[in-house]
């Protein structure tokens, strides 16, 4: 079995939009819940030529506006993934190894899946990425990879957000900024502060040529499992059973649920109310 990616969401979004259409939407980066990404950045200028104070201030204002405008064009889909770091448990302990799985991200269940009442969609990583690359080819820049968690220094941030005044005057502000975003994309788009590390995030990020258009990608050939949370109340059994039985997802395994017994989490097949004999 190949590597997996996991996308947490509400039952409403999954059953009304994602699963019927077989598509995931790439959302604007400003819709994430991390202020590092949603708020404006304040890039700086390295003065490599003579310039009066008035022109410096004008250029600083232009740089801030243009840099943030270009950065906000980015659209992305966020996933969790299995932990491979030994920090997350003993390699020889079967239970510790199970808890590294991407469907056992309890902060994700709480924050993104309606406080454990929602859903987690599991995908074959290689198939999904290959499908997205084929769909978005020629439509803009596409990046994918794991998020790095680091409490980086101000010096690191300065290096990724400072611009040479001579380059700006020679090549134009937008051109220099786009080149910079491409060269520094890991720091700008694939780093978060260490406190977020439990999410074990993997991102697919797209900077489209036409940033006003909504971007959707097909998941029909890559969905492998559907998990519902520990607080799922069987209210959507019929819709979930239809997803499983309609044959639109050839790799989809049996429906599953996260459960707890004596504070210990485990996975079990989802028992549909319609299949219970009373």
Q: Please give the pLDDT value at position 50.
A: 79
CB 59 within 8 A of CB 168: yes
- Beta pairing partners, 142: 206
d(CA 29, CA 34): 9
- Beta pairing partners, 78: 203
Q: Please give the pLDDT value at position 93.
A: 63
Backbone phi and psi for residue 172, each to the nearest 5 degrees, phi listed first: 95, 145
CB 254 within 8 A of CB 244: yes
d(CA 247, CA 254): 12
Backbone phi and psi for residue 261, each to the nearest 5 degrees, phi listed first: -135, 120
pTM greater than 0.85 (yes/no): yes
Q: Please give the pLDDT value at position 86.
A: 58
Q: Please give the pLDDT value at position 276.
A: 47
How are the residues of the chain apportioned to helix, strand and coil, as percentages rounded to the nearest 5? 40, 25, 35
d(CA 119, CA 103): 10
Q: In tens digits, what is the pLDDT along the chain, a chain of 278 residues?
A: 589 999 999 999 999 999 999 999 999 999 999 999 999 999 999 887 778 888 889 999 999 999 999 999 999 999 999 987 655 555 666 667 788 899 999 999 999 999 999 999 999 999 999 999 999 999 999 999 999 998 876 767 777 789 999 999 899 999 999 999 999 999 999 999 999 999 999 999 999 987 777 899 999 999 999 999 999 999 999 999 999 888 899 999 999 999 999 989 999 999 987 654 44
Domain boundaries, the chain: 4-275
**Tokens describing residue 86:** 């030994």
d(CA 78, CA 263): 28
Residue whose token pair is 């059973």: 241
Residue 40: DSSP 8-state:
P
Residue 181: DSSP 8-state:
H
Q: Please give the pLDDT value at position 1.
A: 59
CB 186 within 8 A of CB 156: no
The residue ranges of DSSP E strands in 65-151, in sequence order, are 75-81, 119-124, 140-146, 148-149
CB 167 within 8 A of CB 253: no
């Amino acid at each position: 079995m190949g590597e997996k990616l996991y996308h947490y969401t509400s039952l409403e979004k999954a059953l009304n939009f994602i699963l019927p259409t077989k598509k995931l939407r790439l959302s604007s980066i400003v819709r994430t819940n991390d202020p590092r990404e949603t708020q404006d950045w304040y890039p700086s200028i390295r003065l490599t030529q003579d310039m009066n104070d008035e022109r410096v201030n004008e250029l600083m204002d232009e740089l801030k506006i243009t840099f943030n405008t270009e950065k906000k064009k980015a659209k992305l889909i966020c996933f969790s993934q299995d932990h491979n770091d030994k920090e997350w448990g003993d390699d020889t302990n079967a239970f510790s190894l199970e808890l590294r799985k991407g469907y056992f991200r309890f902060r994700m269940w709480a924050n993104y899946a309606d406080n454990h009442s929602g859903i987690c969609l599991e995908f074959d990583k290689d198939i999904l990425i290959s499908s997205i690359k084929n769909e978005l080819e020629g439509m803009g820049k596409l990046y994918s990879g794991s998020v790095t968690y680091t409490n980086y220094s101000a010096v690191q941030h300065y290096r990724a957000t400072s611009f040479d005044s001579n380059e700006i005057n020679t090549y134009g502000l937008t051109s220099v900024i786009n080149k910079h975003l491409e060269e520094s994309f890991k720091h700008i788009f694939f780093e978060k502060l260490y406190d977020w590390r439990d999410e074990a995030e993997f991102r697919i990020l797209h900077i489209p040529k036409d940033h006003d258009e909504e971007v959707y990608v097909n998941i029909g050939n890559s969905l492998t499992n559907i998990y519902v949370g520990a607080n799922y109340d069987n209210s959507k059994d019929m819709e979930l059973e239809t997803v499983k039985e309609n044959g639109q997802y050839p790799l989809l395994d049996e429906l599953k649920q996260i459960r707890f017994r004596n504070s210990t989490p485990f996975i079990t097949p989802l028992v549909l109310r319609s299949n219970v004999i009373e």
